[in-house]
Amino acid sequence: MTGMLAPEPRRARARAVPWWKGATIYQVYPRSFLDTDGDGVGDLPGITARLPHIASLGVDAVWISPFYRSPMKDFGYDIADHCAVDPLFGTLADFDALVARAHGLGLRVILDQVWSHTSDAHPWFAESRASRTGRRADWYVWADPRPDGSPPSNWQSVFGGPAWTWDARRGQYYLHNFLKEQPDLNLHNPEVAEAVLDVARFWLARGVDGFRLDAINFAMHDPKLRNNPPAPDRGEARTRPFDFQIRRHNMSHPAIPGFLEKVRAVLDAAGGAFAVAEVGGPEPLREMRAFTRPGRLHSAYGFAFLYAPALSPALVVEAMAQWPDRPGTGWPSWAFSNHDAARAVSRWAPAHRREAMARLLLALLVSLRGNVFLYQGEELGLSQVEVPFERLQDPEAIANWPLTLARDGARTPMPWEQNAPNAGFSAAEPWLPLGPDHTALAVDAQDADPGSVLALTRALVALRRAEPALRLGRFEPVHADEALLVFDRARGRARLRCLFNLSAERSVAHALSAGPALAAGSGAEAGRLPPLGWRIEKVA
């Protein structure tokens, strides 16, 4: 278990090596973590009750997905009050208790911040749509129709259909890059920018240690409302009109980095709190680098692995090469699974090899240069759940049935107790079904097994904490072919060699072992890696 947080304030801690650099951060999706009030939905007291489990993994921080007041059209990413806890999850007092408990266990707390849009139930939007001349008239993106009554541009929403909805009260269209119930804020307006910075100040004052900025490259639009050009047809399946455009004008505006400098000033004024940007879209690397330049955000969280249909040595080497260890280049963050992507063990391994793949992925994740995000259930080896149509909750999955089903299947409840109803998640019927194979992987069953995936997670996170070369060192590729991936992590005189056979079907013989193993899996030996075998060695 991690130690207690040092009692000195964040400002004093910030003078040392930043805690977040090379950190392992555990993501909690509150709806599916633990239900304590019997409504089938997880809550803040449930997170607090299970913080000892998270701390036992040895991670540095916990990232909590939205729990703010919301109509839940997009399950909390449609916020109606940025500074209130939705009653579904508890109260502000419950949140304060969570932060105190986390800090007592040595865990930092990171919150999602959603600043590109709000819910249409937000008081800001109610005031904005009421009048073209009111105090908040320009807080959202409003535009007149074209002469024929059609939307002001051809922009398409992520969830399908035009990114514009007509509002008869204003006699104008409003922009929504996501659901029509998620109108876009106008962050070009300095008052709006200051309002969302005040939201950050509110949570920092309650003791949080940082933020993940959701969809931050959607935060500003082209004020000229120019049409997006068509995207070239590369022969890939396109399930949404959104995929038929190069999103040049409805996202990725060049003023966003300047706004992030204001965010950084707020973080620094709070004593060095941390922020990581979520960056998707057509040119994520360019934006990730821009967002993490000195004076902006600390890190950026991309999708190099989250949506990759296959894991290959070339993919890993290419992703790492994009973040060289040199001055002026930012610090990356990596995840293999999260609440928006199908679980990696199901994407990248056949069903009969999923446990071996889960073990390899944990070893690979802790070996990467950057921060690593561990999604709830990865420490158990949970697979993606096939949720039947009648149980689907995700609006995108319902609209695109049966093509895009990743989000619900990755959000199913955590299994805590093997022999309890609903695997100990809730006394009531859970909001999403548990995976049929998840009960056998429950936390209490794995806790008692020193050979479990859970035990391996704890050992690997401890290894990353103990070895500065893994946490902070350079990434130096040694070999990559169709199956074999070998790279070194080096810092000062310390050097570790990491070897992975990414094939689930064949063994690989090699002459690249360099020293004794610190950790190994699937029967790996020096000079030979069975299918999905791996070794982390200390270079002699």
The residues carrying an active-site annotation are: 214, 278
476 class by beta-carbon count within 10 Å (0-12 exposed, 13-18 middle, 19+ buried): middle
- Characterize the bridge pairing of strands 210-214 and 274-278: parallel
CA distances from 313 to 285, 485, 523 (A): 19, 5, 20
Query: How many degrees, rounded to 5, is the angle at CA 61 between CA 500 and CA 74?
Result: 95
**Please, which residues have CB within 8 angstroms of residue 164's CB and are 6 or more apart in sequence?**
143, 151, 152, 153, 155, 173, 174, 175, 176
**Please, which residues have CB within 8 angstroms of residue 451's CB and are 6 or more apart in sequence?**
none
The structure tokens listed for 67 are 């729990």
The structure tokens listed for 22 are 């090379």
Give strand pairing partners of 63.
27, 110
Give strand pairing partners of 210.
110, 274
Local structure of 204: helix, strand or coil: helix
- Characterize the bridge pairing of strands 484-491 and 474-480: antiparallel
The one-letter code for the residue type at 433 is P
Q: Which backbone phi and psi does 187 adopt, to 5 degrees?
A: -75, -5
**What is the rounded CA–CA span in Å between residue 501 and residue 496?**
17
CA distances from 229 to 249, 250, 257, 396 (A): 9, 11, 24, 24
Specify the residue for token string 């071996």.
Answer: 356
**What is the rounded CA–CA span in Å between residue 220 and residue 231?**
21
**What is the rounded CA–CA span in Å between residue 356 and residue 520?**
12
Please state the length of the chain: 540
The one-letter code for the residue type at 63 is W
**What is the rounded CA–CA span in Å between residue 68 and residue 83?**
7
The structure tokens listed for 306 are 């989250």
Give Cα 386 distance to the centre of its chain: 21
- Is the backbone of residue 233 left (phi > 0), alpha (psi -120 to 50) or beta? beta
Q: Convert 451-466 into a string of H (helix), E (strand) and C (coil).
A: CCHHHHHHHHHHHHHH
